[in-house]
Amino acid sequence: MLSEKLDKALNKQIQIEAESSQVYLSMASWAETKGLEGIATFMYAQSDEERMHMLKLVKFVNERGGHAKVSALKAPKLEFGTFQKMFVELLEHEIFVSKSINDLVHITLEEKDYATHNFLQWYVAEQIEEEALARTILDKINLIGNDKGGLYLFDRDVQQITANSAANDMLE
């Protein structure tokens, strides 16, 4: 059985994951309107992944005797300036989500809820991967600078990350 404090904190994380999905969906739509098909495909996949993170939390909360709540979401921004700025925002957002997960893990220790602590370790590992991927992408963006040919190759490479990720998910 979840404590009231943990139920509330997990519901806050459910909202964060749902809003993350919306943020990445907005980024995907923006990229698609700019002709950046690879980046759009990548961001659509990120949006789907965040929604799955949310659903995993919803099911966990309900299975543990809590009540997962579906709440209103903040509308994400619609414009990102440049794809470089968009990926900086993506990294900043992943750092925010990591902090939120870490705060949640801290609460599980305070509440001595080791089942929830164990469940959240998957999210801790996932956030390490998400931040590393965002940093790798930013490193590639910094390498190409303003080179249009580099942008074309980058857009294609980012789409390949999505394809490789999907293939890996099917193997797990």
Q: What ranges in 34-147 are assigned the alpha helix state H?
A: 37-63, 83-110, 114-144
Candidates 167, 136, 141; CA nearest to 155 is 141
Residue 17 assigned as binding residue = yes
Cα 41 from chain centroid (whole Å): 15
Q: Which residues contact 10 (CB under 8 A, 6 or more apart)?
A: 2, 57, 60, 61, 66, 68, 104, 116
Residue 111 assigned as binding residue = no
Residue 79 assigned as binding residue = no
Q: Which residues are annotated as a binding site for Fe cation?
A: 17, 50, 53, 94, 127
Q: Which residues are annotated as a binding site?
A: 17, 50, 53, 94, 127
